[in-house]
Amino acid sequence: MKTPWVFARYLRLAQSFVSKGRLPTLLLAVARKIARREGRLGGLREDLRLLQALCLAWWRGEYRQVSRQALLASVAGLLYFLSPLDALPDWLLGVGFLDDVAVLAWVMRTWRGELDAFRSWRAEQSVERRASLERLPSDEELDADTPRH
């Protein structure tokens, strides 16, 4: 399936976020937006949480079985979700999230195999371990000078 036309810009931005260690900041912003839009996200919420969990597990060094391309596409999808001025700005009532849904559906479909593998790996973890892996970064982790790779 062809990459959405607006997505290439977000892939480049994702590369920058990952290489500069800015992934925790992105994940906190995604969590805040999910919380604000909770009732309006529908099934999109679970996809966002899966991508967020994958990025958290990768950032913490707990799950590295994901390809670089799938990781960057996941980060780019989250960046696209955060952007208020994407192909259809979020402030356009009724249609502002349609492009977000389309882009995230593309990420989920294109990287299904790797996302399913992560989903299976996550399901094998204990409840306590899953909670630890999916915990959002603390202030101390955000203040750390060294990015995690």
Please answer whether residues 70 and 115 qualify as being in contact, where contact means their C-beta atoms are separated by less than 8 angstroms: yes
| The pLDDT value given to residue 37 | 72
Buried b (16+ CB within 10 A) or exposed e, 96-128: ebebbbebbebbbebbeebbeebeeebeebeee
pLDDT computed for residue 51 by the predictor: 95
Taking the whole predicted model, whether its pTM rises above 0.85 is answered as no
Helices 68-82 and 23-36, axial angle in degrees (round to 10):
50
Q: What is the pLDDT of residue 145?
A: 41
Q: In the chain, where are the structural domains located?
A: 7-138
Q: Number of helices (H) and strands (E), helices first, in the chain?
A: 8, 0
pLDDT tens-digit profile of 50-61? 999 999 999 999
Continuous segment of H or E residues that includes residue 100: helix 98-110
Average pLDDT, 10 consecutive residues per value, the chain (149 residues): 71 93 91 78 82 94 95 94 63 58 87 96 94 82 56
Q: What pLDDT, on a 0 to 100 scale, did the predictor assign at position 85? A: 58
For residue 87, what pLDDT is reported? 47
pLDDT at 1: 55
